[in-house]
Structure 1
């Protein structure tokens, strides 16, 4: 257990708990339980556990999972809102009038999770084993997503990148490539940045 000065504030734990108690059932009703297979949605539950346990490894794993995803999500939505096109893709649902309005509002959690996880890491410190464990978690979730979610929903982009279907590569090859690219593109840069800061602190 971390020392008193490093503990996370109770208000953060309670506020995030209230959020999950509202967000999770609302998403299940509007979008179905399959939506929880999204790695960013799974991160919400794992951050909640990590906050209450003050588990540095679990929170570090989710810091890797949400930072760049949140930034890319914000970039895609922001550019689409201002300029009318999606530079990355995958957030078209935010402008789809048939998508439940409340679900679109609740999806703004993509902007919040990096702040929550980042604050926790600032207080507790970054655990360097997070890269390995978050990669392993991703390698479990992606095949499960393929097996247990509807193909047309393309959750975690298991049917094609950027929310689109792909038919260039055989599906097993594409899934293997996805499992490789996801950690390399989304997790490794954040891990490298955190290790850089850790090494700089040690040299002081």
Structure 2
């Protein structure tokens, strides 16, 4: 039996792995381990799994979770670059206390969406990703809310993240005051699903979902004169 042809090029696998081999230790030293609880960093690890296993679910989860948020990251960065503050989520990219190399690594926010689209096109979109990612994201929100520093917390090292995944509002320096903190968390978690994840899921399923009945197609090979069903 012939081995299945790889769906992803080896050069991509090696290049992406090399990037993470640099980024992960640099981020760990500068930002600490809690930085890897951000949605975008979790998505990088999911991409790594999909790239090497060529399984669709991890890449599909990452795509559902961060395609739209990364668009907002890029818009916010462009606004900061032009002197027009939008949300301020990319303010750290202009922090002179962080090296250019450290800030440069964060440009993965700009190319990761294109990589995810490439992966779901090659591997197809796994519709289970919506609830798999939502469960993961909500769990990360609860961890950030109950166990990690809140917005406005002053830490000895200002690079250590506070307000991870924006569970206290969009301003890391001050928690939001629109509503009570628990109510905001509930609204935020619900909004992530309704505003970001569900629309992305519907589009990806339409564009890259597996064709109906694909698993039941008749294979060309025959055994004993009878078709072998997939």
Query: Paired residues, what number?
Result: 199
Higher relative contact order (CA 8 A, sep 6+): 1
> 186, 192, 196: which one pairs with 2:196?
186
Give the Cα–Cα distance (whole angstroms) in 1 for the partners of residues 171 and 67 of structure 2: 17
1:66–1:110 Cα contact (<8 Å) kept: no
TM-score when normalising by structure 1: 0.88
1:25-64, aligned counterparts within 5 Å?
25-64=25-64
Q: Deviations over 1:69-102 (max 9, x none)?
A: 2211111111221x20122331111112123432
> 1:156 matched to which residue of 2?
165
Provide structure 1 residue ranges, at least 5 long, that are not aligned to the other structure.
none
Higher radius of gyration, 1 or 2: 2
Provide structure 2 residue ranges, at least 5 long, that are not aligned to the other structure.
154-161, 213-230
More helix by share: 1
2:65–2:196 Cα contact (<8 Å) kept: yes
The 1:29–1:69 alpha-carbon spacing in structure 2 relative to 1, beyond 3 Å, is same
1:47–1:58 Cα contact (<8 Å) kept: yes
Alignment root-mean-square deviation, CA: 2.1
Q: Deviations over 1:23-71 (max 9, x none)?
A: 0000011111111111111111111112111111111010112211221
Give the Cα–Cα distance (whole angstroms) in 2 for the partners of residues 162 and 129 of structure 1: 33
More strand by share: 2
Using the TM superposition, give the Cα deviation of residue 6 of structure 1 relative to its aligned residue in structure 2, in angstroms: 6.2
Matched residue SS, 2:127: coil
Give the Cα–Cα distance (whole angstroms) in 2 for the partners of residues 25 and 40 of structure 1: 16
TM-score when normalising by structure 2: 0.79
